[in-house]
Structure 1
Amino acid sequence: MKKVGNHSSFSRILLFFLVLSLSFSVASFGQQAAAPAATTDPAAGAAGAAGTGAAPAGAGDAAKGKELFNTLCAACHKLDAKATGPALRGVADRRDRQWLYKWIRNSSEMIKSGDPDAVKLFAENNNAVMTAFPQLTDADIDNIMAYTSQPKEAAAPAPGSDKVGAGAVAAESGVSNNIILGALVLVLGVLIVMLYLVNRTLKRVVSANNIEEVQKEPSLPLWKAYAKNQFLVLVTVILLMLSGAYFIYGYLMQIGVDQGYEPVQPIHFSHKIHAGDNGIDCKYCHSSARVSKHSGIPSLNICMNCHKNIAEFQGDKDSTYVEYSKEFYTAEIQKLYDAVGWDKTAQKYTGKQKPVKWVRIHNLPDFVYFNHAQHVSVAGVECQTCHGPVETFEIMKQHSSLTMGWCINCHRETDVKVEGNDYYKKIHDELAKKYGVQKLTAANMGGTECGKCHY
Structure 2
Amino acid sequence: MKQVIYRNLTSRIFSLGFILLLTFSTSLTAQEGNPANGKSLFNTNCAACHKLDKDMTGPALRNVEARLADEQGLDRAWISAWIRNSSGLIKSGDAYANKVFAEWNNVAMTAFPQLSDQDISDILAYTAVDPCELNPQSSPDCPGYVPPPTEEGGSGSGGISSNLILGALAVLFALLAMALILVKRTLNRFAEAKGIEIPADEQRKPLWKAFIENQFLVLVTAIFFLLASAYFVYGYFMQVGVDQGYEPVQPIHYSHRIHAGDNGIDCKYCHSSARVSKTSGIPSLNVCMNCHKSISEVAPATLAEGQEYGVDYNAEIQKLYEAVGWDGTGYTGESKPVKWIRIHNLPDFAYFNHSQHVSVAGVECQTCHGPVEEMEIMSQHAPLTMGWCINCHRETDVKVKDNGYYTKIHEELSKKYGVDKLTAAQMGGLECGKCHY
Range class of TM-score, shorter chain? 0.7 to 0.9
State the distance in 1 between where 2:324 and 2:113 align: 36
Contact preservation (8 Å) 2:360, 2:405: no
- Is the 1:92–1:145 Cα contact (8 Å) retained in structure 2? yes
Aligned counterparts, 1:414-429, within 5 A: 414-429=396-411
Displacement of 1:382 in angstroms is 1.1
1:77 corresponds in structure 2 to 50
**CA offset digits 1:312-345 (Å, max 9, x no partner):** 22374399646158x811111111111111221x
* Cα distance in 2 between the residues matched to 1:142 and 1:364: 58
Answer yes or no: is the 8 Å Cα contact 2:53–2:61 preserved in 1. Answer: yes
- Helix, strand or coil at the partner of 2:126: helix
- Mapping of residues 23-422 of structure 1, within 5 Å: 59-95=32-68, 96-153=75-132, 155-156=139-140, 217=200, 219-314=204-299, 316-317=301-302, 321=306, 323-324=308-309, 328-344=312-328, 347-422=329-404
What is the rounded CA distance, in whole Å, between the counterparts of 1:319 and 1:376 in structure 2? 36
Q: Number of aligned residue pairs: give it.
A: 340
Deviation at 1:106, TM superposition (A): 2.3
Shift of residue 255, structure 1, vs aligned partner: 0.9
- Give CA deviations for 1:187-218 in whole Å, capped at 9, x if unaligned: xxxxxxxxxxxxxxxxxxxxxxxxxxxxx955
Residues 293-317 of structure 1: CA deviation (Å, up to 9, x unaligned) = 1111111121122222222223743
Could you say if the C-alpha distance between residues 134 and 293 of structure 1 is closer, same or farther in structure 2, counting changes exceeding 3 Å? closer
The residue type equivalent to 1:258 in the other structure is D
Q: Measured at CA, do residues 322 and 415 of structure 1 come closer, stay the same or move farther in structure 2, by a change above 3 Å?
A: farther
- Say if 1:271 and 1:390, in contact at 8 Å, map to a contact too: yes
Letter of the structure 2 residue corresponding to residue 285 of structure 1: C
CA distance in 1: counterparts of 2:57 and 2:117, whole angstroms: 24
Q: CA deviation at 1:88?
A: 0.6
Query: In 2 relative to 1, CA 83–446 (structure 1 residues): closer, same or farther, beyond 3 Å?
Result: same
1:82-130 CA distances to partner (integer Å, 9 max, x unpaired)? 1111111111220233322222222222222222222212212112211
Does the 8 A contact of 2:49 with 2:294 survive in 1?
yes
Distance change (3 Å), C-alpha of 1:320 and 1:289: farther
> Displacement, 1:370?
0.6
Output aligned runs, 1:440-455, within 5 Å. 440-455=422-437
Deviation digits for residues 160-193 of structure 1, max 9, x if unmatched? xx99xx9xxxxxxxxxxxxxxxxxxxxxxxxxxx
Paired with 1:87 and 1:324, the residues of 2 have a C-alpha distance of: 32
Deviations 1:260-286 (A, max 9, x none): 111000000111111112221111111
Q: In structure 1, what is the equivalent of residue 3 of structure 2?
A: none
Q: How far apart, CA to CA, are the structure 2 residues paired with 1:100 and 1:428?
A: 65
What is the CA–CA distance in structure 2 between the aligned matches of 1:315 and 1:445, rounded to whole Å?
53
* Partner SS, residue 349 of structure 1: coil
Structure 2 Cα separation of the partners of residues 423 and 366 of structure 1: 28
- Which stretch of the first structure deviates more once superposed, 116-125 or 422-431? 422-431
2:57, 2:330 within 8 Å by CA — same for their partners in 1? Answer: no
Alpha-carbon RMSD across the aligned residues, in angstroms, is 2.5
The answer on whether the counterparts of 2:256 and 2:375 sit within 8 Å (CA) in structure 1 is yes
SS at match of 1:122: helix
Q: Deviating runs (4+, > 4 A) in structure 1? A: 318-322
Task: Measure the CA separation in 2 of the matches of 1:292 and 1:262.
Answer: 25
Is this contact kept in 2: 1:59–1:142, CA < 8 A? Answer: yes
5+ long unaligned stretches in structure 2: 1-30, 69-74, 133-137, 151-198
Q: 1:79 to 1:250 in 2, by over 3 A?
A: same
Contact 2:296 2:318 in 1 (8 A): yes
- Tell me how far apart the structure 1 counterparts of residues 405 and 259 of structure 2 sit (CA, whole Å): 37
Residue segments in structure 1 that go unaligned for 5+ positions in a row: 1-57, 167-215
CA distance in 2, matches of 1:376, 1:315: 37
Question: AA paired with 2:45?
Answer: L
Residues in 1 aligned to 2:121 and 2:309: alpha-carbon distance in whole angstroms? 37
TM-score by length of 1: 0.70
The 1:84/1:318 distance shift into structure 2, 3 A limit, reads closer
Distance 2:346 2:392 in 1: 17
Letter in 1 for 2:342: R
Q: For 2:37, what is the secondary structure of its paired residue?
A: helix
Instruction: Tell me, yes or no, if the aligned pair for 1:272 and 1:320 is still in contact at 8 Å.
Output: no
SS at match of 1:60: coil
1:411 Cα offset (Å): 0.4
Q: Is the 8 A contact 1:257 1:403 kept in 2?
A: yes
Q: 2:262 & 2:300 partners in 1: Cα distance?
A: 9
Does the 8 Å CA contact 1:291/1:377 hold for their aligned counterparts?
yes
